[in-house]
């Protein structure tokens, strides 16, 4: 019997590569799409060509395409040819800050590319589960309107309605998103609409900080990974506003892949989930400094800029209750300390190899 095909866009990114390896280990054939636009977005530090070599080495029969998802003349025939049993869409321009200087490239990649993939799925494999990697930036700065309390090392919600984090019911309207957030809103809503209008099994995963040892973190994207890289290399890390007490929840890429598998086994129509580490895996920048320093033994070099990033969240962690209710076999498997330890080990190995 032929292997079922999983199509992974952005297969050389953090989540795409993790998903590719995860589903391959389960016996699926992996077809990846990635044209290394990350190197265009972020320069040499964003280059993921090393990941492609790893995928080819570790995944039996891995098939790779460098087609551009913005080009529907190439994408639709490709999907028609392979007719994937599962589609996992992680390709994106991922930076809140970078989008402002490349608005056309950002929107065409995030919104138009997603539309092309959805239409290809509708025409050629409408019953295949379609998982879209969205972002918590679709909520814009709406979370900043929630009542907060300032603690010694972090901000946190003071409204008991949010003691478990941000639920999927929070409005995405009438808020400041950044151009990146807006392009991801367009993609997010389109994924939902293809589900509802055409009765296709689709879901949007509104990710918090997705991370892990294979993350190529840069200043404009990849909070924990970049912070740890700065620590190991004794680089100065810049903290933007909110006293360095802004909070993010962090989820290991392996746990993201695990949830995508659970969804593919029992897909639902037009579903939305806030996918993050939850309150237990949340930390402020100062708290991340402390954990990183404990793992590396190196003091953190940093400077403070009083102006925060436009539209940035003061405090954000995901309410995971809906995910756990719909898919009770899934839960967070790696805590924050373990995640940071793995990132430290990953950067140490890569930087050691680079120095040879």
Residue range 178-205: mean pLDDT, rounded: 98
Residue 259 has pLDDT above 90, yes or no: yes
Of 139-148, 313-322, 344-353, give the lowest mean pLDDT range: 344-353
pLDDT band for 8, please (50, 70, 90 cuts): very high
In Å, what is the CA distance from 87 to each residue of 90, 114, 118, 211?
A: 10, 12, 10, 21
Distance (Å, whole) CA 193 – CA 269: 10
Q: Specify whether the CB–CB gap between 100 and 142 falls below 8 A.
A: no
What are the pLDDT digits (tens) for 53-100? 999 999 999 999 999 999 999 999 999 999 999 999 999 999 888 999
Query: Cβ neighbours of residue 136 under 8 Å, at least 6 residues apart?
Result: 166, 206, 207, 208, 274, 276, 313, 316, 318
Band (1; pLDDT cuts 50, 70, 90): very low
pLDDT given for residue 353 in this prediction: 77
Mean pLDDT of all residues in 190-208: 98
Give the pLDDT mean for 200-222: 89
pLDDT of residue 222: 81
Longest CA span, the chain: 60
pTM of the model: 0.95
Residue with tokens 């199509």: 7
**What pLDDT does 350 receive?**
82
C-alpha span between 321 and 207 (Å, rounded):
15
Distance CA 5, CA 24 (A): 10
Residue 57 burial by CB count (10 A; 0-12/13-18/19+): exposed, middle or buried? exposed
Residue 166 DSSP label: B
Domain that holds residue 172: 5-355
pLDDT of residue 292: 96
H-helix or E-strand containing 218? none
Residue 110 above 60 pLDDT? yes
Question: What's the pLDDT at 330?
Answer: 98
CA dist 86 and 131 (Å) reads: 8
CB atoms within 10 A of CB 113: 27
* Residue 274, H or E segment: strand 271-275
If you average pLDDT over every residue of the chain, what do you get?
95
- Provide the CATH number for the domain around residue 315: 3.40.50.720
The alpha carbon of 323 is separated from its chain's Cα centroid by a whole number of angstroms, namely 16
Measure the CA dihedral 70/76/77/79, to 10°.
Answer: 110
pLDDT exceeds cutoff 80 at 290: yes
Q: What is the pLDDT of residue 352?
A: 80
Number of folded domains in the chain? 1
CB 47 within 8 A of CB 38: yes
pLDDT at position 2 is: 66
């Amino acid at each position: 019997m032929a292997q079922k095909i999983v199509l992974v866009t952005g297969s050389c990114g953090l989540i795409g590569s993790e998903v590719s390896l995860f589903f391959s280990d389960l016996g699926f054939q992996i077809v990846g799409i990635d044209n290394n636009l990350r190197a265009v977005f972020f320069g040499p530090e964003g280059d993921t060509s090393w990941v492609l070599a790893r995928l080819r080495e570790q995944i039996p029969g891995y098939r790779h395409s460098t087609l551009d998802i913005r080009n529907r003349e190439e994408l639709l025939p490709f999907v028609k040819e392979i007719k994937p049993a599962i589609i996992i869409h992680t390709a994106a321009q991922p930076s809140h800050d970078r989008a402002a200087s490349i608005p056309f490239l950002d929107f065409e990649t995030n919104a138009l590319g997603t539309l092309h993939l959805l239409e290809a799925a509708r025409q050629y494999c409408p019953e295949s589960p379609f998982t879209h990697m969205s972002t918590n930036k679709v909520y814009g700065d709406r979370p900043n309107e929630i009542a907060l309390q300032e603690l010694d090392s972090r901000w946190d919600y003071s409204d008991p309605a949010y003691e478990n984090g941000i639920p999927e019911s929070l409005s995405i309207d009438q808020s400041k998103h950044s151009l990146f957030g807006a392009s991801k809103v367009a993609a997010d809503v389109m994924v939902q609409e293809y589900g509802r209008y055409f009765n296709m099994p689709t879901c949007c995963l509104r990710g918090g900080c997705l991370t892990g040892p294979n993350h190529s973190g840069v200043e404009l994207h990849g909070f924990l990974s970049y912070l740890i890289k700065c620590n190991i290399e004794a680089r100065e890390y810049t903290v933007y506003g909110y006293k360095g007490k802004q909070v993010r929840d962090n989820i290991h890429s392996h746990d993201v892949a695990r949830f995508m598998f659970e969804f593919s086994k029992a897909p639902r129509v037009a579903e939305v989930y806030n996918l993050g580490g939850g309150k237990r895996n949340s930390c402020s920048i100062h708290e991340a400094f402390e954990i990183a320093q404990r793992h590396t033994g190196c003091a953190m070099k940093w400077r403070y800029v009083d102006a925060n990033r436009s539209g940035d969240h003061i405090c954000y962690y995901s309410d995971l209750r809906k995910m756990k209710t719909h898919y009770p076999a899934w839960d967070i498997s790696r805590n924050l300390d373990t995640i940071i330890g793995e990132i430290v080990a990953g950067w140490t190995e890569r930087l050691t190899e680079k120095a040879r």
